[in-house]
Amino acid sequence: MSSSDQTSFLENVNLCFDRAAAAIELPSGLAQQIRTCNAICEVKFGVELRGGYEVFTGWRATHSEHVLPVKGGIRYATFADQQEVEALAALMTYKCSIVNVPYGGSKGALKIDPKKYTQDELEHITRRFTQELDKRGFIGPGLNVPAPDMGTGQRMMAWMADEYQRLHPTDINARGCVTGKPVHFGGIQGRTEATGRGVQYGLREFFRNPDDVKSAGLEGTLEGKKIIVQGLGNVGYHAAKFFEEEDGAKIIAILERDGALLNEEGLSVEAVFAHKQEKGCMEGFSGAQFVPGGAELLEHPCDILVPAAMEGVITQENAGNIKAKVIAEAANGPVSYEADRILNEKCVFILPDAYLNAGGVTVSYFEWLKNLSHVRFGRMDRRYEEAQGQAILDVLEQALGKPVEGAARDSLLTGPDELTLVRSGLDDTMREAYGEIREVHLSNDKINDRRTAAFALSIKKIAAIYESMEL
């Protein structure tokens, strides 16, 4: 979908790229090579449904193959189109490079409203889509690895993995052909929450940098900060829940398709989510003001605005009215290029999508590594680490002459399980990348914002790989 600015989502991504490429030194033509989408396939396939046939259209784009496999989500949406897929594939290339995940970028979509089909029908359609992608070399553990995105989830990834395995029965790594699978089917603990968790870790890191916090006109930590979230889907729900329950932030408004809920004292994310699950909408939730439509609440005063629904929601039409001090881009492409310029002039601190929502692909990378190594994280070392902790505890207790109790004891005697390791790896990834982006920003006086810095960082890394390859 294009934003309501004149520029499309793809043009927005390319404009951001061009602005960053102009700020760094590159051999002639290399920026163009990096920016170009390498391949895109459109498939049209028939599926036998409800006593007849229905034809579906889908796409898979491979943006850059400077590293393989390429990686990116598959979305099921009625508004999906080729340009959007190309834009999202390009963002994936930059995102993976920013967070040091060794993949090229890809993305896919199927033009479909998944709500109109039964589970059995969706399974049939998803398996057919997988066959089409497989025929054309657009899926495979060493080649192209999809993941969930809007309108898709764990169950669909399991169907895709199963179909791929059926087509390639001797491929021992077949399950690594998609990520975001259920844990019992080759998935990894912590994948479902990963993008929201990464948004939390990214914002926590922002608050660990007092200069950044000050430049946004804020102080302190996430505690007590007023946050508005748009979209209570996978990403928005998890991010909002973690901010509220773990960081003590106040979620003062949640915007959904039918309208928004507003409560300056803070909403219970879990209660709102349960209401939405039960009623399918926001209206009727007690303890908050319901604002029909609700998009105007993007302009409501708050400390942090978290667009976590879809692209193109902040454009030149509403950017000037935004009152948030920080925009944390949990969704892909929520701010258009023109809006980005307006917001930067207003000194709104933007944590860009290509960095902030990289938690999903980071944990997908961990899942893929688990699939290729055929062993769960923590299996080899958990009990060993507990034995080490016990040895330290024995020495400590002997020296102190009394038992060590409480959290200190528990922490020494608990070896890391898979979820702990996944969160630790994600936290490390988000912190490292934040520092790298910050460094690029502060060391280049042609760069004025974190989005341009993030793009420049990624272009530099990809350029270094291309320069070592023979093209």
The residues that touch ligand NAD, with contacts defined as CB under 6 A, are 148-151, 195, 230-236, 255-257, 308-311, 330-332, 357, 360
Choice between 14 and 195, CB closer to ligand NAD: 195
Alpha-carbon span 91 to 105, nearest angstrom: 7
Q: Which residue is nearest to ligand NAD (CB)?
A: 233
Choice between 123 and 258, CB closer to ligand NAD: 258
Give one DSSP letter per residue of 354-412, joined into a string: HHHTTHHHHHHHHHHHHHHHTS-TTTTTHHHHHHHHHHHHHHHHHHHTS---HHHHHHH
Minimum distance from residue 469 beta carbon to ligand NAD (Å):
28
Minimum distance from residue 357 beta carbon to ligand NAD (Å):
4
Selected catalytic residue, list 107, 181, 250, 325: 107
Minimum distance from residue 148 beta carbon to ligand NAD (Å):
6
Choice between 256 and 436, CB closer to ligand NAD: 256
Give one DSSP letter per residue of 422-439, joined into a string: HHHHHHHHHHHHHHHHHH
Choice between 181 and 382, CB closer to ligand NAD: 181
CA nearest neighbour of 328 among 417, 416, 207: 207
Q: Is 157 helix (H, G, I), strand (E, B) or coil?
A: helix
C-alpha distances in Å from residue 427, one per residue of 20, 45, 293, 303: 26, 41, 35, 23
Burial group, residue 463, by CB count within 10 angstroms (0-12, 13-18, 19+): buried
Host H or E run for residue 111 = strand 104-111
Minimum distance from residue 10 beta carbon to ligand NAD (Å):
14
DSSP secondary structure code for residue 102 in this structure: -
Choice between 353 and 418, CB closer to ligand NAD: 353
Question: Known catalytic residue: 226?
Answer: no
Buried b (16+ CB within 10 A) or exposed e, 268-287: bbeebbebbeeeeebeebee
Choice between 69 and 198, CB closer to ligand NAD: 198
Minimum distance from residue 292 beta carbon to ligand NAD (Å):
12
The torsion angles phi and psi of 366, rounded to 5 degrees, stand at: -65, -40
Alpha-carbon span 198 to 16, nearest angstrom: 22
Alpha-carbon span 370 to 360, nearest angstrom: 15
Q: How far is CA 249 from the centre of its chain?
A: 21
Choice between 231 and 378, CB closer to ligand NAD: 231
Choice between 333 and 382, CB closer to ligand NAD: 333
Residue carrying the six token digits 């995102």:
95
Minimum distance from residue 217 beta carbon to ligand NAD (Å):
26
CB atoms within 10 A of CB 50: 9
Alpha-carbon span 331 to 308, nearest angstrom: 4
Alpha-carbon span 430 to 196, nearest angstrom: 12
Instruction: Work out whether strand 289-292 and strand 104-111 pair parallel, antiparallel, or are unpaired.
Output: unpaired
Minimum distance from residue 255 beta carbon to ligand NAD (Å):
5
Q: How far is CA 158 from the centre of its chain?
A: 20
Minimum distance from residue 40 beta carbon to ligand NAD (Å):
18
Active site residues: 107
